[in-house]
Every structure is written in C-alpha cells, then in structure tokens.
Structure 1
C-alpha cells in the first residue's frame, strides 16, 4: 500500500513538471490583479457616473476584485489541465499501477491541487485588493471595515472551489478537451445568459458560480436570496458532488 505522504509528493512533482498548469496560475494572478486595478482606477475617475443610479452603498472591495469574473477562466483551465494532461499522455496508467488504492490517489490529487489553488488564490485576491484600493483613492476601504476581510477571503475560497469543481468534472469525463468544452461555455455563456431570463433566474442563483460569487459581496443585494457564507456552502456542495462523481468513475473504470 502506497503511503499517503509519498503519493502527495508524487502529485506535487507532477504539477510542478507541467509548465502549462503552472502558467495558468500565473495568468490567474495577472488577470485578476490587472483587471481589478484598471476597473478601480476607471471607477475613481468616473465615480459619480458609475454610482449615481446604483442602489445601496458603493462596494469598494467588490470593485477591486472585479477581475475574478475573468480570472475564473484561468483557474478552471488549471484544474482541467492538471487532471486532463495525465489522461491525455497516458500517465494515469502509471499512476494507477503505482497507487492502486484509488481513494488515496484521488485524495492526494485533491489535496495538492486544492492547496496550490488556495495559496495562489489568497496571494492573488489580497494583491488585487490592496492595489485596487490604492487606485480608488478616497473612495477606498480597508480590511478593518466590517465584512471586508470576509469578502476577500471568500473570494479566494471561491476560486479554490471552482478549481476543485473542474478537477471533479475532468475526472468524470477523463478528457480535458471535453471538460473545457463543457465548463467554459457553462460558466461564461449558459450561466450569465440564464441569469437574466425571468423564469429561470431564481434557479440560476443556485448554480456554483452564482452562489459562490455571493461571498464577494460586502453589502447584501437583492441578487442573492441567501448570505455570503450560504452561497459559499452551495458552491462547496457542487464541488463535493463533482469530486465524489470523479472518484466513483476513477474507482469503477480502468484507465
């Protein structure tokens, strides 16, 4: 039986050795930080026009984290490639031969990818927050204000959950092209379009991306019939379901 620490080390080596997976995390950082800074700066320069018709207080935290809406793409690609490359190259056969205990293998993959995504997400969102607040100038906020730290930390958790959700889906499909062909249109076309359709918008609020984004809000809005932590839990439930599905496929099917 393979020891879990040894399997963890093996999975960590796999991730480090594939440049495409590492670069997707770098792209996530650059996109979220750059886009958040740019939007914050534009908001500062056009503050009156941007806020005069918006109900409720100005959410400086959410503004600085606006890049997450595009950074999601890179973190999803990271989760898909980290698993899909192993199936595409045939290395999954070697992994299963070395670690026949599929629960151990799945657990190690989830731990390494989830841990790496969480660390990268924390660095990304905190840098984006501080640079965004600097760009906002007198309209900025601070981590000491109510619910701000929760929103920033929630953003990192949200990105991590999206990564693990992508891992689970890719494990079920066992094909990175197919996984990307489903996940990217779902998150960037299907979910946004359905969210503005009156008869289904209430259902869409419980999709993983819509629910998880509630954690980024400092002030409650009518867009969410639940609080930020509940939204994050809904996203976590979707992620758990995807990972369980991935484990069941890994357990029942050969490479």
Structure 2
C-alpha cells in the first residue's frame, strides 16, 4: 500500500493541472475572502450601531471558500477522470488488479494533499483577512478566541472533503464534464435554486444540504436556524463517505 500511495502521489504532483488548480484555489479563497472581509468591515464601521447585524469576522475572512470549493473539487475530479480520458486506467488496473487498493491509494494520497493545502489556504485567508478587518477599525479576532481556531482548521477540513467529493464523483461518472456538472449542482446550484423556494423549504435546504451544513464549521457566531458547527460538518462527512462508497462500488462493477 505504501508503494501504491507513493505512485499515486507521483501521478498527482507530476501533472501541471494539479499546481495550476491549487494556485487558482489559493487565489480565490485568499483573494476573495480578503476583499469581502475588507468591504464588510468598512460597511460595519460606517453603519449606525442600531443597524449593525451580527458580525462574524472569522467567517468573513474565510468567505472565499464558497468559490474555492469548486476548484479543489475540480482537482479531485481530475484525479480520477484524467486516467479514463487518457486510457491510463487500463495500465493502472493491470499493475494493481485489486481495484479497492488502487482506489484507497488515490483517496489517501489526494486526501492528504488536499488537507495540507486546505490548511495552508485557510490560515492564510484568516490572518490576512483579520489584518484588513483590524485596519478598517472593525472588531477582529485571533486564533486564541473561542471557536476561532476550530473555524480556521475547519475551513481546511471542508476543502479537503470537497476535494474527496470531486474524486468520488469522478469515480462514479468517469467523464470530466459529467462529474463537473454534478459538482457544480451539489455545491452551488441547489443552494441558488433554494433561494426561490418558500421560506420554510429554503431554511431546510440551508440547514441540511451537505455543502451548506458543512460550512457551519467555518463560523463562530451561533445561528439558531442552522446546525451546530460539528453537526453540520458531520452531515458533509456522511455525504462524502456515501459518495466515495458509491464510487468504489461502480469501480468494481465496471469492466474498466
């Protein structure tokens, strides 16, 4: 298994798309997060005290995750579908006929890469965002404040899970376009469509839809209409695990 994981890591790091996608993820998460944090902090300072809503500086600095989840998910999709598009999957299965071992090796190598990348991006987003919020004169936080360290670490965990979700979708669909369509639907479209639903339905979607519930791990200010941070993250974990199991079942059942 160690040899398989090293082999999958070699495949992952030797692809130019890996590093381009990682850079795109960092730019979206850190850049967009800092812009939103700066803008919201300035608006908070200018507003009258009675008009200031609940202010969560931690969540603001991590708000770039909303789009960065797509790019890390795309990378997860490519980990699987690139082998099918190039025909490399046949060589991989010839060398490793036990498909479960190959699948687990991909999960371990990419999961570790996505987790490390997510943590670096999460901490960079938080530190830069808080510096800009403090510069605007708005309330800011530190890692020592209650719930903040959990939220920052949780942002990296969230990105890692979205990467593994992309990998699972790639294993199930085997085609990049189809897997990406599913990824966009799960991460963005369902939540956008829910905005057109009645208020009760919209609240249920925001509360229990996996990607919506999962983002609770990145917040500090409590929300009575949402799940607790770890409970919401648990929903996303269960959904991702189910998709990974589905990918494994289809990988074993198909001819290639």
TM-score w.r.t. structure 1 length?
0.93
Comparing 165-174 and 141-150, the one that deviates more: 165-174
**Alignment RMSD:** 1.6
Aligned to 1:75: 72
Q: Which residues in structure 2 correspond to 1:2-41 (within 5 Å)?
A: 4-41=1-38
Aligned to 2:158: 158
Structure 2 residue runs without a partner (length 5+): none
Counterpart contact for 2:203–2:225, Cα < 8 Å: no
Relative distance call for 1:223 and 1:54 in structure 2 (3 A) is: farther
Aligned to 1:208: 210
Aligned to 1:63: 60
Aligned to 1:182: 182
Q: Which residues in structure 2 correspond to 1:85-124 (within 5 Å)?
A: 85-124=82-121
Counterpart contact for 1:15–1:22, Cα < 8 Å: no
Aligned residues: 250
What is the CA-CA distance between 1:165 and the residue it aligns to? 1.1
What is the CA-CA distance between 1:17 and the residue it aligns to? 1.6
Summarize deviations over 1:137-166 as a string: whole Å, max 9, x none.
142110000000011111111111111111
What is the CA-CA distance between 1:216 and the residue it aligns to? 1.0
Q: Which residues in structure 2 correspond to 1:163-242 (within 5 Å)?
A: 163-195=163-195, 197-198=197-198, 199-204=200-205, 205-224=207-226, 226-242=227-243
SS at match of 1:146: coil
Partners of 1:217 and 1:55 lie apart in 2 by 15
TM-score w.r.t. structure 2 length?
0.92
Comparing 31-40 and 143-152, the one that deviates more: 31-40
Comparing 194-203 and 39-48, the one that deviates more: 194-203
Summarize deviations over 1:195-249 as a string: whole Å, max 9, x none.
552253244222221110111110111341x210011111000000000000001
SS at match of 1:200: helix
